[in-house]
Amino acid sequence: MPSHRNASLKVLVVEDSKVVLKGLCNYLERMGIANPLTAETGLAALEVYERERPDIILLDALLPDIDGFEIAKRIRAKEHPEEWTAIIFLTSMSKDEDLVHGITAGGDDYLMKPISQVVLQAKISAMRRLVEMQRKLVDTTHQLNAANKELQRLSTTDGLTGIANRRMFDELLMREWRRCQRAKKPLALVMVDVDFFKQYNDTYGHQAGDACLQAVAKQMARSAPRASDVAARYGGEEFALILGDTEIDGAVWVANYIRQNIADLKMAHKRSPFNHVTVSCGVAAIVPSDKATPNELILSADHALYLAKEQGRDRVAGMGN
């Protein structure tokens, strides 16, 4: 009885006897498997397999060139990690060892010749269930991988600004610290803090405050073009930029570039003496060694930021050692 579920099955029949091959194809077509693929030699079977990647292979154990067991082995070796083809041996051998040999070679089941249509139908149905389960498993695995990737992204990204969050910052600062220590290169850190941001929120509302932070984050991200550079939201209205292999002078230059770009946005801030949104930046740089810790670099940059605020805001202060 044909089943519509069989219509999507790709079946390859490998059989050197034209009569048996034709008979099997007739049986399959009666089950609803239209146009089964065919091969009369082992090499032809491998070629069709490469091209068509069938779901099920009915594989004669004895073929004129390469025997079916060897073909099964070669097919298993060609399968990608998420691929699985059901292999059913067609055999007239009846010794237990031959059957064991077939399964060991990578076969999943066997059919004794002469092949009955009813038994073939039952085996195809069983294999179809396995093929469908395998497809579902692959789908589920893909969905799980995508969900994991998204989870990873969410756990490392700041929800408001889309740049690295504090957790990611800590992790990447450590990574850059080690990298620069190995290379004996300076590691610079720029801390950026929005000036009079409390007043901005109070005047324009929290939503406008959020939009302002997003604009600042965008400028930060733009100013971190190297693959090892990291722009992160350090917390609240404070941002950080990690610059590996960068001297204090270079980092001060980058900080000034960020400060200027943000000032140039001319986001109105009527309760700031500058009349628009500005940021203050603290910069520090150090050649990492066992004598110091990343935390000391953060403290230095924070101290420089404090000085920039003290000295009037909308400016950059730097501390190098």
Ligand X SMILES: Nc1nc2c(ncn2[C@@H]2O[C@H](COP(=O)(O)OP(=O)(O)OP(=O)(O)O)[C@@H](O)[C@H]2O)c(=O)[nH]1
Residues near ligand X, by CB under 6 A: 160, 193-199, 201, 206, 209-210, 213, 236-237, 309, 313
DSSP 271-283: TSTTSB--EEEEE
Q: Are 213 and 205 in contact (CB under 8 A)?
A: no
CA–CA separation, 153 vs 140, rounded Å?
20
Minimum CB separation from ligand X for residue 267, in Å?
A: 13
The dihedral of CA 102, 104, 105, 108: what is its sign? positive
Q: Which of residues 27 and 200 has its CB atom nearest to ligand X in the complex?
A: 200
Nearest to 131 by CA among 262, 6, 234: 6
Q: Which of residues 24 and 281 has its CB atom nearest to ligand X in the complex?
A: 281
Minimum CB separation from ligand X for residue 145, in Å?
A: 31
Q: Which of residues 259 and 313 has its CB atom nearest to ligand X in the complex?
A: 313
CA–CA separation, 162 vs 121, rounded Å?
55
Q: Which of residues 220 and 286 has its CB atom nearest to ligand X in the complex?
A: 220
Minimum CB separation from ligand X for residue 79, in Å?
A: 50
285: β partners: 188, 320
Minimum CB separation from ligand X for residue 234, in Å?
A: 11
Minimum CB separation from ligand X for residue 251, in Å?
A: 20
The CA–CA distances, whole Å, from 277 to 68, 171, 222, 223, 303 equal 76, 30, 18, 18, 22
CA–CA separation, 242 vs 217, rounded Å?
14
Return phi, psi of residue 189, to 5°: -135, 130
Minimum CB separation from ligand X for residue 233, in Å?
A: 9
| Residue of closest CB approach to ligand X | 209
**Inter-helix orientation angle 206-222/248-264, to 10°:** 140
Minimum CB separation from ligand X for residue 201, in Å?
A: 5
294 token code pair? 């990343």
Minimum CB separation from ligand X for residue 154, in Å?
A: 17
Q: Which of residues 64 and 236 has its CB atom nearest to ligand X in the complex?
A: 236
CA triple 93-96-97, angle to 5 deg: 90
317: β partners: 282
In the chain, what is the greatest distance between 2 CA atoms, to the nearest angstrom? Answer: 96
Q: Which of residues 201 and 246 has its CB atom nearest to ligand X in the complex?
A: 201
Question: How close are the terminal C-alpha atoms of the chain, in Å?
Answer: 83
Minimum CB separation from ligand X for residue 229, in Å?
A: 23
154: β partners: none
Task: Say which residues have a Cβ less than 8 Å from residue 296's Cβ, sequence separation at least 6.
Answer: 286
Q: Which of residues 34 and 160 has its CB atom nearest to ligand X in the complex?
A: 160
Q: Which of residues 23 and 162 has its CB atom nearest to ligand X in the complex?
A: 162
Q: Which of residues 15 and 193 has its CB atom nearest to ligand X in the complex?
A: 193
